[in-house]
Amino acid sequence: MDSIQKEIDGMAKDLGFLVISIKNLFKNMESILEREDVEDFLYAFKHFHRLIGEIFATATVVKKFYANNNDLISKVDSLLIEVYELLEKVDDVEQKYLEILKRKYCMKSPYQ
């Protein structure tokens, strides 16, 4: 196996690892939300989006520099589909988080 193929395989594995990481982080975010621990959730939420940014940056570089490698591009695209699905799910979790924040920290107006 030549060095270019090793590099390509390494990039695909790195992206796969990042996608597994955000899946696990998403599960943790859900359990944190069940405990209504708003500080831990916020930390996990920020970390989740940091990893999302890293995934998209890496995918962009891979697609740009390895555009002729259809196998790699196919792997990247399938991983990105998983990322998009997680982003849709995290939107629902974020809404639940906001509801908890409102319930815990927003005082009702005495004029209501």
Q: Tens digit of pLDDT for each residue in 69-81?
A: 888 888 889 999 9
Average pLDDT over residues 31-58: 92
Residue 111 domain-assigned (yes or no):
no
Global pTM reads 0.79
Q: What share of the chain is helix, strand, coil (3-state, %, to 5)?
A: 85, 0, 15
pLDDT, residue 22, reads 94
83 Cβ contact list (under 8 Å, min separation 6): 19, 22, 52, 55, 56
**Looking at beta carbons, which pairs linking 6-9 to residues 24 or more positions away fall under 8 Å?**
8/66, 8/69, 8/72
Residue 42 lies in a domain: yes
User: How far is the C-alpha of 79 from the C-alpha of 19, rounded, in Å?
Assistant: 7
Look at residue 112 and tell me whether its pLDDT is greater than 70: no
Domain that holds residue 25: 3-105
Q: How far is CA 56 from the centre of its chain?
A: 10
